[in-house]
């Protein structure tokens, strides 16, 4: 059966899709995810996992108007979108001009069953009328091979199969199969359910299964958030950030993806388009630490299993900065010619050449991510001597390369320097190894690692300081400013009240800040001078301000960042300081980490109200 032509004339009253934006909600279950726009259209979902084929790719455009899963209302007048409190279950209300409305409930099932987590690669969409009998239309137009392949359609009494040469999707529904296939409008007079997933039959009826999955998924997320150790203030923002980070975990291996998307430009028309659907050791460490601060240590335990495999497989001591979520070491970068890109701002990239880089901060990120496991008595599998010895091999590499040029944490493709942030993290590796050895009652090794750390610290504080700029520069002997040096206080190499750190913050504010927002660095890179503010840098500034006692300023900037989130509480990678618009891949774990860290640092204590 041939798919209807999505570019054909739309029925009266059904408007064409609105332009793409990042006012998106995310549902997922730690196996896959889907991004849904304010009108209830699924515009992005990669299957069968985060870095898979985007069977719904409308976020990056389409050559034939397909690549989405829309449930539309005729004569749309307004829409409203919100999460069920403390969950990853998304509600979208659509209302027509006559006051008739419907509710779409979207989620990916996740709940304990038979001693494990049940997390099928299934999107559940439940639709019910809220008032009247609105006229609706279902448009389900998946594509395979990055938009290049239109699936063959077959159907049965209660299902439709979308068949490709490498995967097949099955929609199981209690709606009219004919209406879905023809995309013809119909009156919504009762609840209807759409379960899209693998080509497998259900054990129970469609409606019963959808209702059961929803109730169990709601219960799971409410119980999960109930166990979080929240700050007193900004709790809703922290909960949404924590759920978003949890949804970024690929539970099968323990990997944590940096973002769900590829090729959302860092700034309009710049070609700064990258694929972030992989696990960066740097980003993953910050995610683990943020969730640890909320007493959610399970993610750390899962991630450390993944990390151990990455480190054990290291070649000659070198650890690459990112991997595929299944520990793939080769992520060749290519251009996808089938899709025009976000708002027609290509290119669309698949894979990431940064996998080939030498980024020396990775060794500190490895040790820092694992450090708590040696001190935390709550863990089911606390780390011990064997894990320490594996980390020592990482530390030895940090000692060898801490003062060697690399691509740096910003992954510069044509310029290598001895980056201050990379040397800093090598120091952190040695410093934490000394503390771990002390905990394990290994005084000789503790002294040895502390000796390395002391030597590195002296060189970092001396060779990165630029007297002319009165600031720590981005590289040894350099003069350019870089926001990453703010991590010096966060990881503890310098007292934040040290006059050099205070002077550095002042210089960064003068040269990298656009009002409350902070850019990454001032020197031009491979694509020129950065235009947008990098959200995590703004959060580093907030942390630094709080550490030096400028708490009121820190709180004001934090409130600005909260206002910069989309209506569902999520941030992308970058913010345009003039328009306030979000740019860069979405949702960005680094940015969501910043929300948690800032709230935990700035919140009033619980004992002020109890």
Query: If you write DSSP's letter for every residue of 27-95 in order, what string do you get?
Result: EE-SS-EEEE-TTS-EEEEEESSTTSEEEE-GGG--SSS-S-EEEEETTEEEEEEEEPTTSS-EEEEEE
Q: In terms of domains, do 287 and 163 share one?
A: no
Q: Which of 35, 54, 43, 59 is nearest to 343 (CA)?
A: 59
Residue 571 sits in the same domain as residue 497: yes
First CA to last CA across the chain, in angstroms? Answer: 65
Residue 14 lies in a domain: no
CA-closest candidate to residue 449, choices 499, 528, 393, 366: 393
pLDDT at 411: 82
Q: Let me know if residue 7 belongs to a domain.
A: no
One domain for residues 216 and 253 = no
Other C-beta atoms closer than 10 Å to the C-beta of 12 total: 8
Same domain assignment for residues 249 and 168: no
Whether residue 16 lies inside any domain: the answer is no
Q: Are 34 and 90 in contact (CB under 8 A)?
A: no
What is the model's pLDDT at position 317? Answer: 86
Question: What residues have CB less than 8 Å from 196, skipping those under 6 apart?
Answer: 69, 122, 123, 125, 140, 169, 170, 171, 172
State how many domains the chain has: 2
pLDDT at 15: 52
- What values do phi and psi take at 477, rounded to 5? 75, 5
Would the CA dihedral through 243, 147, 118, 177 be positive or negative? positive
> Does a structural domain hold residue 13?
no
The predicted pLDDT at position 12 comes to 57
Residues 465 and 383 in one domain: yes
Shared-domain flag, residues 383 and 493 = yes
User: Does residue 282 share a domain with residue 147?
Assistant: no
Determine which helix (DSSP H) or strand (DSSP E) holds 131, and give its type and residue range: strand 123-131
20 is a domain residue? no
Residues 139 and 107 in one domain: yes
Which DSSP state fits 22?
A: S
* Residue 2 resides in a domain: no
pLDDT of residue 20: 54
252 with 369, same domain: the answer is: yes
pTM (2 d.p.): 0.95
Claim to verify: residue 140 and residue 55 sit in the same structural domain: yes
CB atoms within 10 A of CB 335: 13
**Residue-number span of the structural domain to which 305 is assigned:** 227-608
Rg, the chain, Cα only: 25
* Residue 119 shares a structural domain with residue 156: yes
Instruction: Give just the sign of the alpha carbon dihedral 262, 254, 382, 312.
Output: negative
Query: What is the structure's pLDDT at 21?
Result: 79
Note whether residue 8 is domain-resident: no
Nearest to 593 by CA among 530, 543, 551: 543
CATH code, domain with 533: 1.50.10.10
> Residues 261, 588: contact at Cβ < 8 Å?
no
Distances (CA, A) of 600 to 239, 445, 476: 12, 34, 33
In a domain, 9, yes or no: no
Pair (218, 256) in one structural domain: no
- On the CB side of 372, CA atoms within 13 Å amount to 22
Examine the fold and report which residue of 161, 192, 225 is the final residue of a domain before the chain moves on: 225
Query: How many Cβ atoms sit within 10 Å of the Cβ of residue 524?
Result: 11
Mean pLDDT by 10 residues, the chain (610 residues): 38 54 96 97 98 97 90 97 98 98 98 94 98 97 96 94 96 97 96 97 95 98 98 98 98 97 94 96 96 95 92 82 95 95 96 93 96 92 92 96 93 85 98 98 98 98 97 96 97 98 98 95 82 96 98 97 96 94 97 98 94
Choose the final residue of a domain: 196, 225, 254.
225
Of the residues 225, 249, 282, the one at which a domain ends: 225
Helix (H, G, I), strand (E, B) or coil at 457: helix
Helix/strand/coil (H/E/C) assignment for every residue in 178-243: HHHHHCCCEECCCCEEEEEEECCCCCCCHHHHHHHHHHHHHHHHHHHHHCCCCCCCCHHHHHHHHH
């Amino acid at each position: 059966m041939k798919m209807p032509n999505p570019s054909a004339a739309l029925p009266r009253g059904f408007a064409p899709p609105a332009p793409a934006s990042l006012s998106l909600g995310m549902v997922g279950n730690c196996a896959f995810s889907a991004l849904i726009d304010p009108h209830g259209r699924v515009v992005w979902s990669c299957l069968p996992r985060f870095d898979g084929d985007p069977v719904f790719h409308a976020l990056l455009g389409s050559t034939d108007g397909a690549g989405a899963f829309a449930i539309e209302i005729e004569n749309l007048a307004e829409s409203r979108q919100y999460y069920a409190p403390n969950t990853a279950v998304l509600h979208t209300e659509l209302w027509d001009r006559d006051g008739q409305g419907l509710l779409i409930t979207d989620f990916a099932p996740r709940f304990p069953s038979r001693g494990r987590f049940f997390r099928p690669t299934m999107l559940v969409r439940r639709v019910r009328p809220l008032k009247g009998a609105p006229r609706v239309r279902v448009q389900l137009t998946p594509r395979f091979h990055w938009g290049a392949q239109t699936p063959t359609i077959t159907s049965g009494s209660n299902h439709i199969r979308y068949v490709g040469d490498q995967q097949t999707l099955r929609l199981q529904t209690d709606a009219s199969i004919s209406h879905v296939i023809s995309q013809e409008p119909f009156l919504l007079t009762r609840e209807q359910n759409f379960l899209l997933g693998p080509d497998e039959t259900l054990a129970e009826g469609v409606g019963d299964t959808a209702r059961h999955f929803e109730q169990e998924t709601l219960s799971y997320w409410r119980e999960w958030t109930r166990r979080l150790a929240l700050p007193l203030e900004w709790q809703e923002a922290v909960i949404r950030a924590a759920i978003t980070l949890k949804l970024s975990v690929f539970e099968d291996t323990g990997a944590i993806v940096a973002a769900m998307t590829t090729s959302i430009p860092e700034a309009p028309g710049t070609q700064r388009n990258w694929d972030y659907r992989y696990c960066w050791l740097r980003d993953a460490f910050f995610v683990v630490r943020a969730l640890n601060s909320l007493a959610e240590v399970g993610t750390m335990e899962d991630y450390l299993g993944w990390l151990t495999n990455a480190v054990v497989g290291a070649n000659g001591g070198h650890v690459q900065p990112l991997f595929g979520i299944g520990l793939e070491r080769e992520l060749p970068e290519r251009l996808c010619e089938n899709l025009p890109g976000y708002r027609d701002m290509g290119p669309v990239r698949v894979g990431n050449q940064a996998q080939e880089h030498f980024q020396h901060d990775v060794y500190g990120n490895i040790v820092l991510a694992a450090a708590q496991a040696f001190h935390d008595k709550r863990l089911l599998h606390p780390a011990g001597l064997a894990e320490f010895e594996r980390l020592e091999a990482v530390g030895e590499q940090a000692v060898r390369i801490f003062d060697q040029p690399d691509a740096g944490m910003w992954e510069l493709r044509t310029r290598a320097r001895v980056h201050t942030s990379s040397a800093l993290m090598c120091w952190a590796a040695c410093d934490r190894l000394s503390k771990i050895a002390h905990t394990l009652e290994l005084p000789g090794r503790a002294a040895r690692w502390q000796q390395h750390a002391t030597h590195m610290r002296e060189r970092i504080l001396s060779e990165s300081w630029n007297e002319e700029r009165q600031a720590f520069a981005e590289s040894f002997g350099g003069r350019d400013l870089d926001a990453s040096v703010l991590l010096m206080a966060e990881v503890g190499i310098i007292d934040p009240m040290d006059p050099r750190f205070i002077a550095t913050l002042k210089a960064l504010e003068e040269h990298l800040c656009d009002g409350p927002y902070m850019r990454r660095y001032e020197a031009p890179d491979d694509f020129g001078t950065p235009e947008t503010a990098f959200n995590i840098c703004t959060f580093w500034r907030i942390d630094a301000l709080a550490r030096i006692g400028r708490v009121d300023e820190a709180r004001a900037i934090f409130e600005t960042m909260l206002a910069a989130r989309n209506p569902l509480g999520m941030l992308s990678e970058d913010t345009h300081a003039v328009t306030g618009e979000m740019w860069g891949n979405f949702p960005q774990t680094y940015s969501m980490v910043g929300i948690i860290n800032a709230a935990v640092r700035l919140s009033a204590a619980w004992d002020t109200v109890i």
